[in-house]
Amino acid sequence: MNNYEEVITLDNEDFLIVSKMNYEGKNYLYVNSLVNESDYSILEEYEKDGKTLVKSIDHDKYELLMNLFTKKLINDNN
């Protein structure tokens, strides 16, 4: 059993990586703030100059990815 959670720091604020998903060859993260529990984000992961970077997804992708994460989390939780 994994007793550790992955946390990413965004703008000096810690976010828990709640779920990860690969869609169309890209990795996405659903993260939730550990400081303000009401804050969350969906991040796209990508490589640049040998570094792994993340950024928020474009607005037009939000609805789709949110639904995919929802389904995934429902499935993972079952």
Minimum separation from the CB atom of position 26 to another protein (A): 12
Contact status, residue 44 vs residue 57, Cβ threshold 8 Å: yes
Residue count, binding to another protein (CB under 8 A): 54
Residues 43-62 that bind another protein (CB under 8 A): 43, 45, 48, 51-56, 58-59, 62
Contact status, residue 69 vs residue 75, Cβ threshold 8 Å: no
Contact status, residue 42 vs residue 25, Cβ threshold 8 Å: no
User: Comparing C-alpha atoms, which of 25, 24, 32 is closest to residue 5?
Assistant: 32
Minimum separation from the CB atom of position 20 to another protein (A): 6
Residues contributing to the site for another protein (CB under 8 A)? 3-11, 16-18, 20-23, 25, 30, 32-34, 36-41, 43, 45, 48, 51-56, 58-59, 62-64, 66-78
